[in-house]
Amino acid sequence: MQKLRVQNFGISLDGYSAGPNQSIDCPVGVGGMALGEWFFPTRTFRRMHNPDWTANLPDHLSARQDGAAGIDDYFAARGFENVGALIIGRNMFGPIRGAWANYDWKGWWGENPPFHCEVFVLTHHARASVAMQGGTTFHFVTDGIEAALQRAKAAASGKDVQLGGGVATVRAYLRAGLVDELHLAQSPVLLGSGESLFTGLDLLSLGYRCVERVPSSRTTHIVLTRS
């Protein structure tokens, strides 16, 4: 059975998966980069992203170019196994809100995005698909989350579909009971405000249970599934 999976999704101790005041210079909000500090040093992340991208990371995270193995890398790698397509929200695709002024923006990730599959972008504003290098194609879906899931499953050739984010998109799929597996990485930091993953969302009533909790030195991996 094809699953819809959220993987490697950062969350703070106080339940925020993005900080406040998101902008083009700070796409995950103020403080939000701290949620990725477990992920950036992993071998999986290093191999996915080109050196140019990681050149801007702080020294203590970018020093080991080969990347670290271990618990964090195990979960990072598992998150990308058997993934055949990706769904993301429009705010994760870019900082532009409302109608497209032009079609220059092609995502945060450069000419060769690290996805290498069909990517379905939820938006209210239609746009032609954009083929990138390396096998990534962005499709823009204007008829809702269930339609996007259907198209992504069809594109995934029997593999699972990854739900990339952002927070509002993950919440919409959770509320509809469409997420089969949710892997959170809880960093030992407070964000104080921003986008809360849980507020107003009764995951217990929606059928979710915690099936794994594995602490590492940088984060706590938590896996929820729906029964």
Cβ atoms of 71 and 41 within 8 Å: the answer is no
Binding range to a copy of itself, per CB under 8 A, among 46-54, 104-112, 139-147, 203-211: 203-211
Query: What six digits make up the tokens of 121?
Result: 């972008």
- Selected from 178, 203, 225, 226, the binder of a copy of itself by CB under 8 A is 203
Q: Which CB, 33 or 96, lies closer to a copy of itself?
A: 33
**Site membership for a copy of itself, residue 176 (CB under 8 A):** no
Please list every residue from 177 through 196 that binds a copy of itself, using CB under 8 A.
184, 188-193, 196
Which residues fall within 8 angstroms of residue 121, CB to CB, at 6 or more apart? 88, 89, 90, 93, 138, 139, 140, 141
**Site membership for a copy of itself, residue 227 (CB under 8 A):** no
**Site membership for a copy of itself, residue 210 (CB under 8 A):** yes
**Site membership for a copy of itself, residue 7 (CB under 8 A):** no
CA 73-75-80 angle, 5° bins: 95
Cβ atoms of 47 and 64 within 8 Å: the answer is no
CA 20-87-51 angle, 5° bins: 70
Virtual torsion, Cα 89, 94, 100, 102, nearest 10 deg: -150
- Selected from 199, 225, 226, 227, the binder of a copy of itself by CB under 8 A is 199
d(CA 95, CA 126): 16
The least CB distance from residue 110 to a copy of itself, in Å, is: 32
The least CB distance from residue 213 to a copy of itself, in Å, is: 4
- List of residues contacting a copy of itself (CB under 8 A): 13-15, 31, 184, 188-193, 196, 198-199, 201-206, 208-210, 213, 215, 220, 222, 224
